[in-house]
Amino acid sequence: MVDKKKVIWLLSAYRSDSHAAWADGLIASFRNFDWFKLELSGRHFRWRIRGNPLSWIDKIPAEQPDLILATSMVDLATLKGLHPQLANTPCLYYFHENQFAYPISKQQHQSVDPQMVQLYGALAASKLLFNSAYNRDSFLKGVDQLLKRLPDEVPGNITSRLSIKTEVLPVAIKRIESQGEKNPQLILWNHRWEYDKAPQVFADALVKLKKLNIDFQLALLGVRAEKKPSYLMQIENEFNDQIIINEKVSKLNYQKYLQLSSIVVSTAIHEFQGLSMLEAVSAGAIPAVPDDLCYQEQYAEEFRYKAGDSDALAEKIIHYFNIRPAAPDISQYYDEALKQKWNDTLRE
């Protein structure tokens, strides 16, 4: 007699590139489970994080699953309240990010709503999974700070109640094998061109390199808005001769440029796991990362520079050109290292 597969609902309220790769990868990797997936497209952030129970109100099956795996964009508390059959269903709440440590741009309205969604969702979940210790710690610290600002009738044990349910379980990456010779002068940028990645720091560092007559080339990848941001235009105007690629490319070409690049740079002011950096490092690129965020637990001090300091970044790149250190070992983030832990977590 064949054992019945465990039924898991995967709920993802914001299908951005990284969330999509995570969801699709889990389903492809763990065919020993019976998956049901509900997703919403990665746009209209504030509507998504508050509105997903309404968007899904007629799409939730009547049958009760064995387990719910929901991202922290899902308003899990409201969802369970609208569907009483889910009241006792075990729920894993997966934090790709947390709204307590998310930088707000000048164009965004400051609101406590996204934080409250995640707080109530965390209280409603059986276990809280985080892709990094930084993500976990900044979430718990943010919850504690929020509760201290509330006027009255706040239980004193909320943060400790959440803390005992936490576990760090990173998103697994597929290793990109290094192939052939690298371009020793090629610097890679493979991030979104948005405020939370602080690309102006990158642009300012390149200006310093140029003033010092450093010979370098650029691979500029990553998603960019329809309206080209000023910092990207600055780089295009000032470093046109150094740019060998400047567009979001196919997956195959993306891997090719990662394999070709010698140095990969992050200037992020928001990063909870840094998948694009891990992918580039897996292909043999040397990382230059801020001494901040999740990077402190991933990379030794020799690969970090003072956060937000373009001069320090330029100096780090020059150091790499002179010393050529080996890329760090990040094998603990590979599929083969994490697959068993993910399987065990989903089987609990």
Condensed to tens digits (0 to 9), the pLDDT of residues 277-322 reads 999 999 999 999 999 999 999 999 999 999 999 999 999 999 999 9
The confidence score (pLDDT) of residue 222 equals 87
**What mean pLDDT is predicted for residues 261-278?**
97
The number of CA neighbours under 13 Å toward the Cβ of 51 is: 10
Alpha carbon distance 143, 246 (integer Å): 40
Percent of the chain clearing pLDDT 90 (strictly above):
89
Architecture of domain 6-169: 3-Layer(aba) Sandwich (3.40)
The confidence score (pLDDT) of residue 1 equals 47
What is the domain partition of the chain in residue ranges? Answer: 6-169, 186-331
- What is the average pLDDT value for the chain, to the nearest integer? 94
pTM over 0.85? The answer is yes
Alpha carbon distance 58, 40 (integer Å): 14
Banded model confidence at residue 90, pLDDT cuts 50, 70, 90 = very high
Secondary structure string (H, E, C) spanning the chain: CCCCCEEEEEEEEEECHHHHHHHHHHHHHCCCEEEEEEEEECCCHHHHHHHHHHHCCCCCCCCCCCEEEEECCCCHHHHHHHCHHHCCCCEEEEECCCCCCCCCCCCCCCCCHHHHHHHHHHHHCCEEEECCHHHHHHHHHHHHHHHHHCCCCCCCCHHHHHHCCEEECCCCECCCCCCCCCCCCEEEECCCCCHHHCHHHHHHHHHHHHHCCCCCEEEECCCCCCCCCHHHHHHHHHCHHHEEEECCCCHHHHHHHHHHCCEEECCCCCCCCCHHHHHHHHCCCEEEEECCCCHHHHCCHHHEECCCCHHHHHHHHHHHHHHCCCCCCCHHHEHHHHHHHHHHHHHC
The confidence score (pLDDT) of residue 60 equals 96
Percent of the chain clearing pLDDT 70 (strictly above):
98
Please answer whether residues 309 and 302 qualify as being in contact, where contact means their C-beta atoms are separated by less than 8 angstroms: no
Condensed to tens digits (0 to 9), the pLDDT of residues 199-232 reads 999 999 999 999 999 999 999 998 888 888 888 9
Q: Do domains 6-169 and 186-331 have the same CATH topology?
A: yes
**What mean pLDDT is predicted for residues 7-27?**
94
Condensed to tens digits (0 to 9), the pLDDT of residues 20-65 reads 999 999 999 999 999 999 999 999 999 999 999 999 999 999 999 9
**Right CATH for 186-331 from 3.40.50.2000, 3.40.1160.10, 3.40.630.40, 3.30.413.10:** 3.40.50.2000
Residue 96 has pLDDT above 60, yes or no: yes
Stretch among 61-75, 221-235, 251-265 having the lowest mean pLDDT: 221-235
